Amino acid sequence: MTSVPGPPADDGLAPGVLSVALVSEHASPLATPGGVDAGGQNVHVAALAGALADRGHRVVVHTRRDRPDLPGRVVLRDGVEVHHVPAGPPEPVPKDRLLPYMEEFGRHLARVWRARPPDVVHSHFWMSGLASLRAARELGLPLLHTYHALGTVKRRHQGLADTSPPERIGCEIEVGLGCDRVVATCRDEVAELARMGVPAYRVGVVPCGVDTDRFTPVGPVAPRGPFRHRLVQLGRLVPRKGAAVSVAALARLPGTELLVVGGPPRDRLDDDPEVRRLRGLARDAGVADRVRFTGGVNPSRVPALLRSADVVLCPADYEPFGIVPLEAMACGRPVVASAVGGQLDTVTDPGTGRLVPPGDPEALARAVAALLADPAAREACAVAGRRRVLSRYGWPRIAAATEAAYCEVLDAEPAATGTG
């Protein structure tokens, strides 16, 4: 990555080449996944930007400056820049506290886009949509939006524990009705949006993708412990991801270890409240010696860790899409996932793994135990999972589908003014 002092001179783009603005207010493509607010969206935005650049387009990712030493612009790779937007204090702020800075974020986008308007704007997450909608309306720019998660779903599952701003759902409806196209990531999201009043004709489905050259069945394998079987759970260490369910299920799976990958850096694990909670649950269940936390890891280590698993667990209470099942399937590993959200689309039962009710340790343990006892079934899932990912979820295919959505909106001009 190379930092540059400001936007490069615009010499014009070749015919068919789009100038694309991706807006991702809290999820920078430069962040290491696994932190509280750094997960699938970061991976998605970075990979989508790169895949669009591979198709010849020029992409700028606009994300909030969260450190004072960050340069204004960073070249992520050929064809992709990251623009650090000054909005709010230049320090980490939990995403649920960022709403007050979105007006400033949107004003800055409008200034940048007025000087150099992109062909299309694609916002990611509801606050990015809110900031982008106001700037796009002002300048008459076409806007597409991907939610990544919906406040109605979060509130339904978390209730009083939901820390989202009370305005969230109303803002999500405003964005859905005000943008030119919603790019949903799964069928479950389309149905949820319809219940919110966003009609299906405004919504198209383009799933998240996976790097099938990096996540492969063949490659380095992380060392394993002394146990006969290994389960791996990968992702942000937040309660809704269901690591507590995995720990409870482990008590029913003798001779098996659970590797929990993600969270704060390894040297800060002892201070993390979710790690402390999970360690307490493991002690109470008598499995503390079989649960290991790696902390956040460099993305380069993730494929080897997934390959070391006999089964990869994805037991979230709810999952707007879920990239980890795709990464595991691409590595040729069977997945046992909760039957929620995007996992209903990506994981086929019994083809690539098993789907179980969320929050049910006994059901999770039964499904895992059956796979651990049947190497042939695990191998069949491995082959089917890799085949499914190659046929549906490679980034070149996802970028082409996203580009098609952009072109449909552009072809509808001048109606695409950002008004509902």
**pLDDT above 80 for 6:** no
User: Is 219 in contact with 304 (CB distance < 8 Å)?
Assistant: yes
pLDDT bucket at 12, cuts 50 / 70 / 90: low
Residue 333 is predicted with a pLDDT of 98
**pLDDT above 90 for 46:** yes
Concatenating the DSSP letter of every residue in 228-265 gives SEEEEEES--SGGG-HHHHHHHHTTSTTEEEEEEBSS-
User: Is 227 in contact with 257 (CB distance < 8 Å)?
Assistant: yes
Strands of the sheet containing 229-234, edge to edge, are 291-295, 256-261, 229-234, 311-314, 335-338, 353-356
pTM greater than 0.95: no
Residue 343 is predicted with a pLDDT of 96
Residue 365 is predicted with a pLDDT of 98
**pLDDT above 70 for 14:** no
Residue 43 is predicted with a pLDDT of 86
**pLDDT above 60 for 36:** no
User: Is 90 in contact with 110 (CB distance < 8 Å)?
Assistant: no
**pLDDT above 70 for 157:** yes
Domains 2-209+395-411 and 229-392 belong to one CATH topology: yes
Of 35-39, 87-91, 281-285, minimum mean pLDDT range: 35-39
Peptide bond into 117 cis (omega under 30): no
Residue 15 is predicted with a pLDDT of 64
Closest CA to 120 of 244, 18, 5: 18
Residue 142 is predicted with a pLDDT of 98
**pLDDT above 70 for 409:** yes
Closest CA to 305 of 286, 328, 338, 279: 328
Residue 1 is predicted with a pLDDT of 45
More confident residue, 292 or 10: 292
- Counting residues of the chain whose pLDDT is more than 70, the rounded percentage is 93
- pLDDT tens digits for 232-246? 999 989 999 999 999
**Domain 2-209+395-411 annotated CATH 1.10.10.10:** no
- Mean pLDDT calculated for residue range 346-364: 97
CA-to-CA separations, 354 to 183, 314, 315, 333, 367, in angstroms, rounded:
27, 10, 11, 12, 7
- Mean pLDDT calculated for residue range 338-359: 96
What ranges do the domains of the chain cover? 2-209+395-411, 229-392
Q: 147-179 as b/e, with b when 16 or more CB fall inside 10 Å?
A: bbbbbbbbbebeeeeeebbeebbebbbbbbbbb
Residue 161 is predicted with a pLDDT of 87
Task: Enter the DSSP assignment of 29.
Answer: T
- Mean pLDDT calculated for residue range 258-275: 95
Residue 2 is predicted with a pLDDT of 41
Question: What CATH number should be reported for the domain whose range is 229-392?
Answer: 3.40.50.2000
Q: Say which residue the tokens 């299906």 belong to.
A: 200
Closest CA to 167 of 104, 238, 99: 99
- Mean pLDDT calculated for residue range 354-374: 98
Q: 68 — alpha (psi -120 to 50), left (phi > 0) or beta?
A: alpha
**pLDDT above 60 for 417:** no
- pLDDT tens digits for 101-142? 999 999 999 999 999 999 999 999 999 999 999 999 999 999
Residue 38 is predicted with a pLDDT of 52
The radius of gyration of the chain from alpha carbons, rounded to an integer in Å, stands at: 21
Residue 128 is predicted with a pLDDT of 98
Residue 370 is predicted with a pLDDT of 98
> How many CB atoms lie under 10 A from the CB of residue 289?
11
